[in-house]
Amino acid sequence: MIRHFIALLILFALFQRCLPAQPNDMKSYNGDWEAELSARTFSHQLTFTPEASNQWRVKMGNKVFSHEQLLSSSGEKGQVALELGDVLRFSGELSEDEKVLSGFLQTTYTKFRLTLRDNGKGGYSGKWNSLYVPKLQPAKLYLSIENGEGNNYEAYPILPDNRYRGTYADDFQKSADEISFVDRRTGYSFKGFLRGDTILMEVYIGGGKVGGMSFTRSTEDWKIGATTDYSPEEPRHPDLENDGWPTGPLAKVSNSEASLDRMVDSIEAEALTHVHSVLMAHQGTLVYENYFNGFQPDLPHDQRSAAKSFASAIIGIALEDGVFQDVNDALYDYLPEDYQATKDEQKARITLKHLLTMSSGLDAIDFGIDRVGQATEDNYQMTRDWIETVLTAPMIYEPGEHCNYGSANPFLLGVVLDHALEEPVEDYFHERLFGPLGIENYSIPIDPDSRFYFGGGTYLGPRDMLKFGELYRQGGVWKGEQILSPSWIEQSFTQYGILENTSEKNGYGYLFWLRSYQVGERKVRAYEARGAGGQYICVIPDLELVIVITSGNYRNGRYWQPEVIIEEYLLPVFAE
């Protein structure tokens, strides 16, 4: 009898699974959808106007929408701290003359640098482009609905314009025929209405409705990639912009530019893949600038791990400012009390210098070995407490004995700097490094505790990347101001070991890669900030040259391609 009953239950379950999904069952919505966007731009005009009793009237809008709300600031005098929405908040301060309100607009995973200026109407106004892309090409949005079953599902918005890094959606909710989710990177929230063969979607930010769109089933394979290219009219004669860069003709450098023509031909023929920009500054003058695949000067680019070198710079500045006493200070001298229990006799010997040189000895080797360590970036970023995951990892080497590339090392530098400073790290970083360089259009990644993540992922424009390289070439000076000490640059460019988990066994300084290039009959030494996919800031002091290359080779293994471009196409211009 029991067997028959069990058999009937199994048959009933199989029968239920074979039934067509009910109208509001997310199973019937699995698959690919797409919609036309009513606007090609996600740039927002922001206006913050002070009111009485520490309140601010915040207006956000563009040609498509406008939203206004009255908010109370939790900041002290001169400080402004506003909660604009569930995952959107602003923290900043007024300048001494009260003409500028600047700070960071924060989503769950990103802080965008924001500068608002006196608008002459009692408030402060400026622009924020949540997607970075000035104008989407094409003006579409794809939507992938996955694992739909009953009220459960996952929904991922995807822009066909791949100049944007992509969304990070979660918090999937459903009630009757309504669904909702949020993009943690931009702060946009989505509210959809299920209508069988369509999904009507509304998009909100900061509590205000951005607009709406109608999704229908995709009938063709998605096409990913920007459809419009941008390039200067004369790539060899960069445009003069109000960004601190003097420009000049490449002809003053060399009479032979044939290698540059071959480079462009190779990029257009896709022999050199996914190149986004190539820039050169010689003797402090921007002499070559070219963009490909829809990228352009005002579009911040993902630095990936090239941003580790920014972390090196701010640590050097912090040492100069007395935030730290010495590069040989112990890591645990600056860690929060909650993590002191992770210290043992061996970990107590880890110093700031070990973190700067990837030689902490922690089980934090990101690649190049046949096992996965506890403190690899892919592992600790999947945990709630990144610090605990890294610090409880076993030691596999004595500190200082072996150099192995692992993002946990600079991550810990960000943690100790955060603990040592009285102000947020990002404010100190802007005040002492990016601000003096005239860099305003950028964003930084943050960890689960909203702390500036030093492992990589800052977004920065190519011209601003070039400024950072020029700062190092000029001995720490930009526009007559000493920002970084020459001794720190010398230390940063000194080889302390080789990265044993890299195929080339590269030399390594303070979060800088060391390499030599062949130029005609001689070799020249180069010092590089490098990021996955092919992001390079290359400083070659002997040639008075700084090179920037940005790329999108994230999945094809051609991360080394910038080195080919530099040696085979760019440096021949400077061969004697």
In a shared domain, residues 35 and 50: no
- pTM check: above 0.85: yes
In a domain, 277, yes or no: yes
Residues 35 and 173 in one domain: yes
Final residue in a domain of this structure, among 102, 129, 156: 129
Domain match, 378 and 361 both: yes
pLDDT score, position 21: 46
Domain boundary among 99, 129, 159: 129
User: What values do phi and psi take at 446, rounded to 5?
Assistant: -130, 155
The pLDDT of residue 575: 83
Give yes or no: residues 141 and 32 share one domain. Answer: yes
Neighbours of 82 (CB within 10 A): 22
Residue 230 located in a structural domain: no
* Range of the structural domain that residue 328 is part of: 307-459
* 394 and 481 belong to one structural domain: no
> Which element (helix H / strand E) includes 262?
helix 258-268
| Same domain flag for 29 and 50 | no
Judge if 486 and 428 occupy the same domain.
Answer: no
Regarding whether 503 and 569 lie in a shared domain, the answer is yes
Q: Tell me the backbone φ, ψ of residue 402, rounded to 5 degrees.
A: -135, 140
User: Alpha helix (H) ranges present in 367-499?
Assistant: 377-380, 386-391, 408-420, 425-429, 462-473, 486-492
Is residue 6 a part of any domain in this protein? no
H-helix segments, 288-441: 308-320, 352-356, 377-380, 386-391, 408-420, 425-429
- Within 13 Å and on the Cβ side, how many CA atoms surround 3? 0
How much of the chain is helix, strand and coil, in % rounded to 5? 25, 35, 45
Q: What contacts 53, CB < 8 A, 6 or more positions away?
A: 72
Q: Is residue 7 assigned to a domain?
A: no
Give the distance from CA 451 to its chain's centroid.
14
pLDDT 10s digit of each residue in the chain, 576 long? 545 544 444 444 444 444 444 568 999 999 999 999 877 668 899 999 999 889 999 999 988 888 999 999 998 889 999 999 889 999 999 999 999 999 999 999 999 999 999 999 999 999 999 899 888 888 899 999 999 999 999 999 999 998 988 899 999 999 999 999 999 999 999 999 999 999 999 999 988 888 899 999 999 999 988 766 555 555 656 777 889 999 998 876 776 789 999 999 999 999 999 999 999 999 999 999 999 999 999 899 999 999 999 999 999 999 999 999 999 999 999 999 999 999 999 999 999 999 999 999 999 999 999 989 999 999 999 999 999 999 999 999 999 999 999 999 999 999 999 999 999 999 999 999 999 999 999 999 999 999 999 999 999 999 999 999 999 999 999 999 999 999 999 999 999 999 999 999 999 999 999 999 999 899 999 999 999 999 999 999 999 999 999 999 999 999 999 999 999 999 999 886
The last residue of a domain, from among 83, 103, 129: 129
Phi-psi region of 293 (alpha: psi -120 to 50; beta: other; left: phi over 0): left
At residue 360, the pLDDT reads 98
The dihedral built from the CA positions of residue 311, 170, 108 and 388, taken in this order, carries a sign that is negative
Cα R_g (the chain), whole angstroms = 26
* Domain containing residue 155: CATH number: 2.40.128.620
**Residues 299 and 314 placed together within one structural domain of the fold:** no
- Environment class of residue 49 by beta-carbon count within 10 Å: exposed (0-12), middle (13-18) or buried (19+)? middle
Question: How many domains are contained in the chain?
Answer: 4
CATH number at residue 413: 3.40.710.10
Those residues whose C-beta lies under 8 Å from the C-beta of residue 550, and which sit 6 or more positions away, are: 275, 276, 277, 295, 301, 462, 465, 534, 535
pLDDT of residue 207: 81
**One domain for residues 114 and 152:** no
Q: Is the dihedral of CA 67, 69, 73, 77 positive or negative?
A: positive
Tokens encoding 406: 């692992």
Compute the distance between CA of residue 308 and CA of residue 330 in angstroms, rounded to an integer.
20
Residues 323 and 455 in one domain: yes
Domain membership flag for residue 237 = no
The per-residue DSSP string of 60-95 comes to: EE-SS-EEEEEEE----TTEEEEEEETTEEEEEEE-
Any domain includes 222? no
11 falls within a domain: no
Output the DSSP codes for 191-239: EEEE-SSEEEEEEEETTEEEEEEEEEE--S----S-S-----SSTTSPP
Question: Which candidate, 443, 406, 563, 511, places its Cα nearest to that of 165?
Answer: 443
Query: Could you tell me if residue 284 is inside a domain?
Result: yes
pLDDT for 42 = 81
Same domain, 422 and 495: no
